[in-house]
Amino acid sequence: MPLVFWVAVLGVLGTLIGSFLNVVVHRVPAGQSIVSPGSACPECRHAVRGRDNVPVVSWLLLRGRCRDCAAPISARYPLVEAGTGLLFVLVALRLAATGELSVLAAFLVVTGAGVALALIDLEHGRLPFSITGVAAVLVVLTLALGWWGGDVEALTVLVSAGIWLAVYGGIWFFTGGRGMGLGDVALAPLLGAVLGALGLGASVVGLAAGFMLGAVVGVVLLATGRARRGVRIPHGPFMLLGAACGLFVGTPLAETYLTVVGLR
């Protein structure tokens, strides 16, 4: 099958997963089951029909309103669905040339989990262990299959995960939890592991990028009065953005740096 076919399939898969992530983002922070009951309109409580649950398309056909009571449906739902689909496509295009399906699967797992974690952290200021834990199990399984097939260097993955854990765990420990939450510490080795599958260069760039992005945005928020000193700004989204930098530009940036300093 041509590459465009598989990219299209992953794009559709991403929108379907994005629809499920909308449920996760709403229910997990509230301590509700993500399995039952089925989705329903929060205003009239009518169950959402199957034909009204098609990602993006249904929202457009319904013009953003409930079929039964015409209550508005937030545009966040189709944006999450379409955004997740787009991210799946971008990740697939980035990793298509490697031919390492286990690495691609691991990054897609982190991409899906990352969308949910970022939205929850921005809204509720926490990274649920239930999401991180499930993602970690799936990533370990996929990378283990890659190691078994010779596509993944296990030592590099472990070292990379250890570096991320040491940095974030150290900040949490030495600041008494003020500088970093346990949710960030739990997410760190997961991101380190998947980036380690690409090499330590990508991992280190991703780690540094997360802190740099967080610092820049923090300064801007303080300067514009949108944040106060001493108020914690959710760091999870910056960790995930940093990991994205590591995925897409980490390896060439690391190689360029090593060349400039004369180490390569």
Q: Are residues 83 and 106 in the same domain?
A: no
For position 1, what pLDDT does the model report? 64
Domain edge (last residue) among 78, 93, 108: 93
Q: Which of 93, 110, 125 is the last residue of a domain?
A: 93
Residues 170 and 56 reside in one and the same domain: no
| DSSP states of 213-229 | HHHHHHHHHHHTTSS-T
167 & 146 share domain = yes
Put residue 229 in one of left, alpha, beta given phi > 0 → left and psi -120 to 50 → alpha.
beta
Residue 52 has a pLDDT of: 83
Q: Is 38 left (phi over 0), alpha (psi -120 to 50) or beta?
A: beta
Question: In sequence order, what are the residues at sequence separation of 6 or more whose Cβ sits closer than 8 angstroms to the Cβ of residue 163?
Answer: 192, 200, 203, 204, 207
- Let me know whether 171 and 216 are in one domain: yes
> How many domains does the structure of the chain reveal?
2
Task: Tell me if 77 sits within 8 A of 66, measured CB to CB.
Answer: no
Range of the domain at 4: 1-93
Residues 80, 61 share a domain: yes
Residues 220 and 246 grouped into a single domain: yes
Assess whether 5 and 71 both reside in one domain. Answer: yes
* Together in a domain, 88 and 122: no
Residue 136 shares a structural domain with residue 230: yes
Q: Are residues 49 and 130 in the same domain?
A: no
Report the pLDDT value the prediction gives residue 264, as an integer from 0 to 100: 67
One-letter amino acid at 44 equals: C
Q: What pLDDT does residue 2 have?
A: 75
Q: Are residues 119 and 65 in the same domain?
A: no
For residues 189 and 130, state if they share a domain. yes
Digit-by-digit pLDDT tens for the chain (264 residues) are 677 888 899 999 999 999 999 999 999 999 999 988 888 888 888 888 888 889 999 999 998 898 889 889 899 999 999 999 999 999 999 998 777 899 999 999 999 999 999 999 999 999 999 999 999 999 999 999 988 888 889 999 999 999 999 999 999 999 887 778 899 999 999 999 999 999 999 999 999 999 999 999 988 888 887 777 767 789 999 999 999 999 999 999 998 888 888 776
